[in-house]
Amino acid sequence: MIPSLIVLGYLATVVYIGVFAFRHRGGHEGAEDYFLAGRTIGPFVFLMSLFGTNMTAFAILGSSGHAFNNGIVTFGLMASSSALVIPLSLLFIGTRLWALGKKHGFMTPVQLFRDRWECGHIGTAIFAVQATLLVPYIVIGVMGGGTTLQTISGGLVPYWLGGAVVALVVMSYVFFGGMRGTAWVNTFQTILFLGFGAVAVAVIAGGMGGFGAAAEALLGAPATASLFTRERVSPWYFFSYTFIPLSSIAFPHIAIFCLTARKMAQFKRTVILYPLCILALWLPCVFLGVMANRATDIKEVREKQEARRTLAAQGATLEAAAREELRERMRGDDVLVLLLNRYAPLWLAGLLGAGIMAAVMASDSQILALSTMFTEDVFAHYGGKERFGEAVQVHTGRLFVIVLTVLAYLVALRAPATIFELAIQYAFSGYAALSPLLVAALFWRRSTKWGALAVTLWTAAAMVAVAAFQYAVPAPPPGRLALVWSAGGLDLLARTPAGTAVLGLAPVVPMVLVSAVLMVAVSLATRAPGEATLRRYHSLH
């Protein structure tokens, strides 16, 4: 009961911040003010909010769950590669986006593409692919909120009510506060979940009687020793994951957020501190995820380990459906909550639960980004702003926020979570494959709209192909590959326990490389935009 009350108090605070941001606006109703906070975000809020926007529920719950079953490799796969690639993309792409946005007044990446490549409908095609890849995040955010609230309250708050409360809270502060409210809430949430890591480590270490003995015990047991190394993942597959953070700057909510800075100098501190923020959040979560294997006094942890052992020992002889059921049972997304429930005092478990909720509720930026994209790339582009005015455009954006949140909630009530989790898994690859669009638009004079269309269509086709492949070929048991296509002694295409391998690499690698090749080849084969347009975009050095 106490943890639930603390989390509800946190949700009330979040709504208050959003409404406070609404009042702070002081009567401005312009689209730039609502969707981009008038391009006036200050340095501290810019860093905290950008980091918080990039960290979804996966950063806390998913990372610890992945580490629970796969070990310390999780940090190298997803955190340290991001610590290098994301700040680099902010430094070289984010700053240029900011400058061009300020100079030409665009508010979404599609506006930049349309203007830069002198196109209309191709921009709409890019919008459609970007929006399709973003929607599952919003649904999974509502689902995560419902599940977390249900777990923290010990079942007192049912899933449907938890999801409704989270959806209503997010909708309220996005509706009222727009970008300013969302940025302030994200800042508050980031402070909360950055603090979460250190406190959780201290409390759980105390509860477990120190980590030294627990680590030695895990290393001494054959079933868990490998969790302290990276031998469960091949070096090539590990390398593939360095392509995933390319998706960050290509995500519309991140690209749009780059436009909100008051000054370009605000990127400086963000670029430098970003890797340290990643370290502060991911290191405790990954380490605690591994250490959860020692918490065998928790019934649920024992059940997960039992399912993992059964899958490893009997997986080859089981039906695909039975393997899938075991995979579902061994999932570790809730191990952190279980550790807190076991080792933290009630009031602290509530506070830490609020920290988890903060990460789960990252869908606010995606809702706002989709609303911005819809009103700018569709409503305004097709004449709505000219015909009805800017005030109606903002009202449309707000209405879109309501419709989108309600739809996401209804879908979250009916659809199985695994579908959306899979969609999110491949959304990263999809956005990484779209990243050549930004690079070409910003840095390559010779790039054309046809090159952009080729990249967009390829990305959509590759995503559908990977999803269909994984649907058609069941996942093999752990440690094995289901080889589908080989030639000349090379394993060209295989189904792995966690996904797909192309030449031993994750699909993101060929997706990005083919995108880049298509952009170059198709652009060179077609006519470049006019000289006047090129001068507007490439006079900046």
Partner 1 sequence: MNRRSMPRTRRLALWLAVLALFALHQDVWFWHTARPLLFGFLPVGLTYHALFAIAAAVLMGVLVRFAWPESLEAEVDGRTAETPPAEDAR
Interface of this chain with partner 1, residues 345 to 404, rule: CB under 8 A: none
> Applying CB under 8 A, which part among 17-25, 92-100, 398-406, 480-488 lies near partner 1?
92-100
Determine the Cα–Cα distance for residues 243 and 506; give it in Å rounded to an integer.
9
For position 161 contacting partner 1 by CB under 8 A, the verdict is no
Query: Which of 219, 313, 415, 468 is close enough to bind partner 1 by CB under 8 A?
Result: 219
Q: Give the interface segment with partner 1, choosing from 79-87, 353-361, 388-396, 487-495 (CB under 8 A).
A: 79-87
Q: In angstroms, what CA-CA distances link 189 with 67, 139, 193, 293, 358? A: 23, 20, 6, 28, 5
What are the b/e assignments for 14-39, b being 16+ CB within 10 Å?
bbebbbebbeebeeeeebbbbbbbbb
Site string for partner 1, 103-142 (x = CB under 8 A): x---------------------------------------
Which residue in 15, 79, 256, 506 binds partner 1 (CB under 8 A)?
79
Q: Is 343 a binder of partner 1 (CB under 8 A)?
A: no
User: Cβ of residue 367: shortest distance to partner 1, in angstroms?
Assistant: 29
Question: Based on CB atoms, which residue is closest to partner 1, 270 or 448?
Answer: 270
Q: How far apart are CA 389 and CA 386, in angstroms?
A: 6
Binding mask 39-78 for partner 1 (x = CB under 8 A): ----x----------------------------xx-xx--
Nearer to partner 1, 81 or 396 (CB): 81
- Residue 186 interacts with partner 1 (CB under 8 A)? no
**The pair of three-digit structure tokens given for residue 541, joined into one six-digit string:** 């050095």
Q: Is 506 exposed, middle or buried (CB count within 10 Å of its CB: 0-12, 13-18, 19+)?
A: buried
Report the C-alpha gap between 453 and 448 in whole angstroms: 9
* Least distance in angstroms from the C-beta of 116 to partner 1: 16
Among 272, 316, 346, 461, binds partner 1 (CB under 8 A): 272
- State yes or no: residue 212 binds partner 1 (CB under 8 A): yes
Tell me the H-state helices in 361-416: 363-373, 384-388, 390-414
- Binding to partner 1 (CB under 8 A) within 280-309 occurs at 283, 286-287
CB half-sphere exposure, 500, CA atoms < 13 A? 25
Q: Is 93 an interacting residue with respect to partner 1 (CB under 8 A)?
A: no
Residue 265 binds to partner 1 (criterion: CB under 8 A): yes
Helix (H, G, I), strand (E, B) or coil at 492: strand
Q: Is 38 in the site for partner 1 (CB under 8 A)?
A: no
Q: Which of residues 229-258 bind partner 1 (CB under 8 A)?
A: 229-231, 235, 238-239, 242
Residue 122, token pair as written in the block: 């191709």
What are the Cα distances from residue 361, in Å, to 58, 149, 171, 206, 349?
A: 11, 11, 11, 29, 18
Q: With respect to partner 1, which residue has the nearer C-beta, 195 or 275? A: 275
Stretch that binds partner 1, among 214-222, 394-402, 418-426, 430-438 (CB under 8 A): 214-222
Tokens 């990977």 map to which residue?
466
222 binds partner 1 (CB under 8 A): no
CB of 418 to partner 1, least distance (A): 29
Q: Does 225 bind partner 1 (CB under 8 A)?
A: yes
Q: Kind and range of the H or E element at 486?
A: strand 482-487
List beta partners, residue 487: 490
In whole angstroms, the minimum distance from the beta carbon of 106 to partner 1 comes to 13
Q: Which of 81, 148, 186, 371 binds partner 1 (CB under 8 A)?
A: 81
Structure tokens at 29: 């109703």
Q: What are phi and psi of 491, to 5 degrees?
A: -85, 95
Phi–psi pair at 490, nearest 5 degrees: -105, 140
Task: Classify residue 298 by its DSSP letter.
Answer: S
Alpha-carbon distance 56 to 77, whole Å?
16
Shortest distance, CB of residue 312 to partner 1, whole angstroms? 19
CB-based contacts of 218, cutoff 8 Å, min separation 6: 224, 225, 227, 228, 290, 291, 293, 294
Least distance to partner 1, CB of residue 265, Å: 4
Q: Cβ closer to partner 1: 43 or 497?
A: 43
276 belongs to the binding site for partner 1 (CB under 8 A):
yes
Closest CA to 506 of 419, 433, 420, 421: 433
Residues that bind partner 1 (CB under 8 A): 43, 72-73, 75-76, 79-81, 83-84, 87-88, 91-92, 95-96, 98-99, 102-103, 210-212, 214-215, 219, 225, 228-231, 235, 238-239, 242, 262-266, 268, 271-276, 278-279, 283, 286-287, 539-541
